[in-house]
Structure 1
Amino acid sequence: MTSTQQGSGFAPDPTIDLQGSPNLIGPKLPIPHLGIQPDAHKPWWYIAGVMLGQIGIFIALMGPATVSLQLKAGVLASTPAEQASITAIAVAPGAIAALIFNALGGRISDRTTGGLGRRRPWIIAGVVMMSLGLLIIAIAPSAVVMAIGWFLAQATANMAFASFTASLADQLPANQYGKVSGLVGIAQNLAVLGATWLATAFTANMLALFMVPAAIAIVLVTVYALMIPEPVLVKNKHPFNLVELVTTFWRNPIKFPDFGLAWGGRFMIILASYLFTTFRILYMENHLGLDTQSATLAVATGVTIYTATSMVASLVAGWVSDVLGRRKILVAVSILIFGIATYLLLHADTVSAFYMVEAVMGLAYGMYIAVDLALVLEVLPNREEAGKDLGVFNMANALPQSFAPALGGFLLANLGGGTDFTALLVTALIAAVIGAVLTMFIRGVK
């Protein structure tokens, strides 16, 4: 249904431009009607654009999150414990920025007026400003400056990501949720893989380490932004005031319990994941005894294995969830398997054993990411405010990213002396078990 067809079944809305803002790349697609779920399949080239956008954002963000920040911290530190502390100091403020600006960005994009549409301006501007934050990290002389750069990068990237995710709710019909969710999961893992190998290539060059992924992100994300047909608001029916600001960060879990339970499940698996990935280089150096160069190469190889198994799991799980119409059991089982695999890292005493655990983690996370987005899109409280609701949901990504470095840094530095990962990985297992249980209580989705 296009905005030019509002007379057929829709009351005319003077706040919506009847023409909209067409996509500038590819054959013209229908302009979605605000608040109404589309029913027409999106073509393959649009889905390819979705994957490009996901790869672009994540290749620039996940490189620092998984490897690059730890390598930069290693340049500034003199001991393993100091490296862990610097990593925690640098990462935690950025995750707080992600918490705030993902939700805020979604709400602002819901309310944005202008001829380019609601989502497109924020997608492009956000990724450009993210690159500036990464530049600050690359040249940072201290942990404090690193933290400032990561805060800016996370704030602006999450503005872009909130609009990107909301655009999927605007554009996709329900019967493409599972398949696209699976492909988005594959794109995310390809981005992590690419970022990790780029880190391996540029270990000794801090500027290239951060700015090469940033340049790739600007190109890919801009391409996606130009492929989406956008509704255009000519007037904002809901002025952005103090009440709007406060409610941006909240959706009542009592009134919308399924949304709240899905939020809790996402929080727990991200917490379990980041308790390990934030300190992955340290694990390789201090648990397996590798030097920095070997540790970086082993992590890159492990991520390659993780990505390969995750891609297979994403394709199969997304297809199965659409065919069977079942989401939550796949999500719950995948979270549980991921937690068990995290715990098994304690018993990985060789690089080969580490690779085996990475394969299991990849299968679990691939299954999870393929189905979780489809599940969330089905439990959105208000489709007209999809940006706000998905922003609130994505706080379940940002909060544990903020909490995990602080908690993990404490557990590792104080209970593990910088080298014993027992407390860290047992905590990750407990978080995953809780997430699996919460997901099974969702009622509105099979």
Structure 2
Amino acid sequence: MVVSDPAAGATLPSPVVPVPKEKAKARVIATMVAARLGIMLALSTPALAGMTLKVQTLVAPGDVAVTLGSVISMGAFAALFFDPVFGRLSDRTVGRFGRRRPWLVFGSLGLMASLVVIALAPNVMVLGLGWFFAQALGNAAVAAHTASLADQIPQWQRGKVSGMIGIAQQAAGLGAAYSASFLGQNMLLLFLVPGVVGLLLVVVFAFVLPDQPMSRRPASEGGFRTVLKTFWVNPAKHPDFAFAWISRFLVVLAMFMFVTFRLLYLQQDLQLEKAEAASVMATGVLIYTIALMVAGQLAGWLSDRLGRRKVFIWASAIIFGIGTWMLSQAGSASGFYWAELVIGVGFGIYVAVDLALVIDVLPSPDDAAKDLGVFNIAMAGPQTIAPAISAALLGLGGGGYDVLLTVAAIIALLGALAILPVKKIR
């Protein structure tokens, strides 16, 4: 892998990256979707349940929630910082292996190694460091993968492919839930198996991906200005991108205010034992995933046919907010299942259309990975602050989840309102 030397290309204009026009090949789409499933399976297994189970082996029961929130926040901060950094490096990588392929493989290898560290961690400090590096290196693969969608998929096909990727990403949560259910008694297998599966699927995609090398090193503005621009897209020049960013930030914040504590919610609010809670969670995530797959496929197809994105984002956030509120009213496993069904429909519509909308409003194809990395701050940022906000709201609610879930529902609705000012996309 060779990363561009800023000085070498300083006097040349940046090479123009062609916008894809022809229909993407089926094998590229299939392996692209499978690779996203693999990456997110490796990242979701710890985030959804693995870290909760691991923390419970290291600290006293009364310290689990605080410790879990702190560790998850460390990893989210790494994702917040390193996604745009690796996106920038990916955009500026030259060599015979292309721009995206090296970072896909490097990131997946690093993620798997970090998961082994987490599984064997003897204390909370090592656990936190392992999760920090897992998120940092995993996001090298995530940034390159997301940019490959912009590189390879024409605009008129993006809604469908974005929907498939969104479904795969959420299906990874289902795999994570069942991994916790079946492998939760063996920490090494719980973290290692998803990591190996993710690595294999990414390697297959890297082999199939028609990742053409750039002809020369891109130009650079050099110095500290380039570093700052890694984390910045001017909202005054690109307001559509800014409003899309705000919308995702709010919707993802609403989601992670609950997801981080989903297993604890079942144990504490519904008074379920650890094994029963894991089983109920797996069933709930199964219902959620089926609803998400059906709604996502339909929404992605319909969005492409109608040439519309915003109305789907708006509807999805409303449905998601309703489902989150339903969780506050659930007093049993069946109530939890109904809420998961509604949330699945809402978020399925959202993930099917949101990524396509964002790629449609990207400022420049030359910096696709960097700009998508900036956009993914709206995914990682909420994960950083959600545990602290949730902990504070749990305190206000006296340990109950009603206040937390009601606030999350309101935030999701605000996320829907934020997408309305986008002008470039209907």
Q: CA deviation at 1:289?
A: 0.7
Does the 8 A contact of 1:272 with 1:431 survive in 2? yes
Aligned to 1:427: 407
- Specify the alignment match of 1:37 in structure 2: 19
> Is the partner of 1:296 in helix, strand or coil?
helix
Alpha-carbon offset, residue 14 of structure 1: 10
1:358 aligned partner: 340
Moved over 6 A (4+): 13-16
Can you give the 5+ residue segments of structure 1 that lack an aligned partner in the other structure?
A: 1-12, 17-33
Question: 1:432 is matched by which residue type in structure 2?
Answer: A
Deviation at 1:436, TM superposition (A): 0.5
Residue by residue over 1:285-317, the C-alpha shift from the partner in whole angstroms, topping out at 9 and shown as x without a partner, is 011110000001111110000000100001100
Which residue identity is paired with 2:266? Answer: M
Post-superposition CA distance 1:318-353 (Å, at most 9, x none): 010000001011011101211221121111001011
Deviation at 1:215, TM superposition (A): 0.5
- Per-residue CA deviations over 1:86-121 (Å, capped at 9, x if unaligned) read 111110011010011111111110001111011100
| Deviation, structure 1 residue 77 | 2.8
Paired residues for 1:29-428 under 5 Å: 34-79=16-61, 81-239=62-220, 241-412=223-394, 414-417=395-398, 419-428=399-408
Letter in 2 for 1:302: G
Native 8 Å contact 1:134 1:210 kept in 2: yes
Contact 1:15–1:234, Cα closer than 8 Å, also in 2: no
1:131 is displaced (CA, Å) by 1.2
Deviation at 1:35, TM superposition (A): 2.3
Q: TM-score, normalised by structure 2?
A: 0.94
**Aligned with 2:217: secondary structure?**
coil
TM-score normalized with structure 1 length = 0.90
1: CA distance between counterparts of 2:210 and 2:165? 19
Q: CA RMSD in A?
A: 1.4
CA distance in structure 2 between the partners assigned to 1:305 and 1:15 by the alignment: 47
Q: Aligned partners of 1:216, 1:65: CA distance in 2, in Å? A: 17
Conserved in 1, the CA contact under 8 Å of 2:13 and 2:218?
Answer: no
Residues 13, 219 of structure 2: 8 Å contact kept: no
Q: Which amino acid aligns with 1:289?
A: Q
Indicate if the aligned counterparts of 2:92 and 2:99 stay in contact, CA closer than 8 A.
Answer: yes
**Aligned-pair CA distance for 1:415:** 2.5
SS at match of 1:290: coil
Give the secondary structure class of the aligned counterpart of 1:440: coil
The alignment of Structure 1 onto Structure 2 pairs a total of residues equal to: 414
Q: Among 416, 428, 437, which residue is 2:417 paired with? A: 437
Tell me if structure 2 keeps the 8 A contact 1:130–1:152: yes
1:444 positional shift: 1.1
1:98 and 1:364 map into 2 onto residues whose CA distance is 25
Q: Which moved more, 1:91-100 or 1:35-44?
A: 35-44
| Structure 2 Cα separation of the partners of residues 123 and 178 of structure 1 | 23
Instruction: Report the residue type matching 1:344 in the other structure.
Output: M
Contact residue 104 and residue 388 of structure 1 kept, 8 A = yes
Q: Who is 1:26 aligned against?
A: none
Q: CA separation in 2, counterparts of 1:407 and 1:84?
A: 13
Q: Percent identity?
A: 44
Bigger CA drift: 185-194 or 87-96?
Answer: 185-194
1:301 counterpart SS class: helix
Task: Quote how far apart the aligned CAs of 1:190 are.
Answer: 1.7
8 Å contact 2:101–2:206 — kept in the other structure?
Answer: yes
CA positional deviation for 1:238: 2.4
Distance 2:328 2:219 in 1: 52
**Offset at 1:430?**
2.0
Question: Do 1:89 and 1:144's aligned partners in 2 also have CA atoms closer than 8 Å?
Answer: no
Please name the residue that 1:9 is paired with. Answer: none
> Which amino acid in 2 is paired with 1:195?
A
The alpha carbon displacement at 1:186 in A equals: 1.5
